[in-house]
Structure 1
Amino acid sequence: MKLLIAQPRLEKELRQLELEMMNHPEADVIIFPEGYINHNIDCACELARKYSKIIISGYKNPKDRAVVIDRDGKLLLDRAKYEDTKLVEVEGNVIGIMLCDELVLQGMSNLQPTNILFIVHPIGVGMFSEEQFAEWVEEARKYAIQYKTVIIGTSHADGSFGDSEVSIPIAYCMDEEGTDIFISKNDTKTRIVTLETRPGRSVINLA
């Protein structure tokens, strides 16, 4: 399974989402930040169907929601931020999703470790300090180890939180032992990782 991890700019439409799908036909899963889809949920479902991609991201209706869309354009998960975390099954694989500061506020809502293939962490804007960047990376590492699964996070390439003048774009991927596959700071290029499952272990490689 190939997972595309994007750090787009905030936009009113979904041009960057479609462009990534067009440019990377090999990708199975498209991971975009919290809030990127915005009010365009119907369009996102249509793009998932058109390009036969699984989309994991977030949108606003009117508050932030976690969303997983399958290749047929069907909403498999549509959960309001800060509601209890739910696992979702996609093509026979179990996936977890935490939105932005759920990582530090509630985590996976005390879900028991199970056979989770990977956890996705869509983040809104970039980190507002080096300290926050380091804190969130280490919190993510704890979940990778606790749930014995791959964890992937990504933020927008632009924007800032509240009145902060700092916005550090972040993207990361760690394996089930908490080992870094990559940690991205102020480098907003798209990345693709390949996730393979073997008895008792997942193997993930950066393209």
Structure 2
Amino acid sequence: MRVLIGQPVHEEGLSQLERDIKTTTGIDIVLYPEGYILNEKVLEAACSIAKENKVMIITSYKKDNKNRAVIISDTGDIILERAKTLPDDNEELVQPLTVNYNGINIGYVLCMEILKGMRDLKNVGKNINFIAHPIGVGMFSDEQFDLWINEAKKIAKTYKTIIMSASHSDGSYRNCGISLPISYCIDSTGEPIYISKSDTRARIVDLDTKEVTVL
């Protein structure tokens, strides 16, 4: 299974998504950041792109100016859609956290939900083939970068699954002006397949061989 992990800039349409899909071959899944899809109308267009190209799209979209999780199957159907969990420590991760598609159990955590993953993924109660972790914008410090990577490593090792992620290549948290774009893929032992900081090139990861191609 080959996954294209992209770090686009924010845009109103889907030109970067279409370009990434049409200029690569043999891609099964595209993982894009939180909030890349601007609204429900653009989401409909993304479903058409998925169906036309027979590619699964994992990202997030905005509805009523709030980010929501979404996975679009390679037939253009929305197979996972939910609200983003509130940041309060007492709030458990909003279900569903996984979806089974063609025998593959796909996990999903959205941006800061990674910080609740160790605690709440135990409620899934079944094996996860991989976890997708779309992030909105880059990290606002090296300390945050290290924290999120370490959480990903712990989740991968604890739940014996691959976890992969990407942020946009532009923007900053609450417009603070500081952004360290992030992209990573951690294997099921908690070891990095790759970790990228402030390098916004897309990658193709073969989840079977662990081979990484930088685009």
Query: TM-score over 0.5 for the alignment?
Result: yes
1:121 to 126, 133, 155: 133
The answer to whether the aligner puts 1:70 opposite 2:70 as a matched pair is: no
2:210 to 196, 204, 207: 204
Higher strand share: 1
**Contact 1:114–1:147 (CA<8 Å) still a contact in 2?**
no
Alignment size in residue pairs: 201
Q: How far did 1:85 drift?
A: 4.1
List per-residue Cα deviations over 1:97-117 (Å, max 9, x = no partner): 000001114554532453211
Q: How far did 1:92 drift?
A: 1.3
Q: Distance in 2 between matches of 1:188 and 1:146?
A: 29
Q: How far did 1:26 drift?
A: 1.1
Identity level (%)? 43
TM-score (norm 1): 0.93
- Name the aligned partner's letter for residue 54 of structure 1: M
SS at 1:101 equivalent: helix
**Contact 2:105–2:130 (CA<8 Å) still a contact in 1?**
yes
Q: Distance in 2 between matches of 1:12 and 1:26?
A: 27
Match of 1:14 in 2: 14
The answer to whether the aligner puts 1:156 opposite 2:181 as a matched pair is: no
Instruction: Give the CA RMSD over aligned residues.
Output: 1.4
Question: Which runs of structure 2 are paired with 1:1-207 in the superposition (5 Å)?
Answer: 1-39=1-39, 40-62=42-64, 63-82=66-85, 83-105=94-116, 108-112=120-124, 114-196=126-208, 203-207=209-213
- Name the aligned partner's letter for residue 103 of structure 2: G
Q: Distance in 2 between matches of 1:134 and 1:24?
A: 31
SS at 2:52 equivalent: helix
- Name the aligned partner's letter for residue 71 of structure 1: D
Gaps of 5+ in 2: 86-93
Gaps of 5+ in 1: 197-202
TM-score (norm 2): 0.89
Q: Specify whether residues 163 and 189 from structure 1 end up closer, same or farther in structure 2 by C-alpha distance, changes over 3 A only.
A: closer
Higher helix share: 2
Q: Specify whether residues 89 and 112 from structure 1 end up closer, same or farther in structure 2 by C-alpha distance, changes over 3 A only.
A: closer
List per-residue Cα deviations over 1:109-138 (Å, max 9, x = no partner): 532453211000000011011110000000
